Amino acid sequence: MKPQKNRLLFEGSSLNTIGTSPVKYAICATLLLSLSGCLTMSGEYTVTAQDASGAPLTKLGTFTAEGHNIYPIRNAFCLNAPEATVIIRDARTGEELHSESPYHCR
């Protein structure tokens, strides 16, 4: 059986000088984590629910969530009122978060 040649993962790159050391993996992990940070939500939001007629569901109340924490609150609303529509607004401006709201529970 012939020995295989070492294949360069990053051919033509300066990353080849560090071989397959943990440093290369740390660099890749850092890049991936920093890029995923651009996709996370930031800011403070108020989360409320309303019924099919548009009346607020006062039994669920109004919650304030920071960033990506709107999702567990939204899911909790849907568990407690499966027919609800969840409204997410920016707590500072009062504008609806168009990418996530209104959310119709199923």
Q: pTM value?
A: 0.60
pLDDT band per the 50, 70, 90 thresholds, residue 73 = very high
Mean pLDDT for 37-53 is: 79
65 vs 1: which has the higher pLDDT? 65
Enumerate residues 6+ apart whose C-beta is below 8 A from 77. Answer: 47, 49, 57, 60, 84, 86, 105
pLDDT tens figures, 10-23: 565 555 555 566 76
Question: Domain-by-domain residue ranges, the chain?
Answer: 44-104
Cα separation, 53 vs 55, whole angstroms:
6
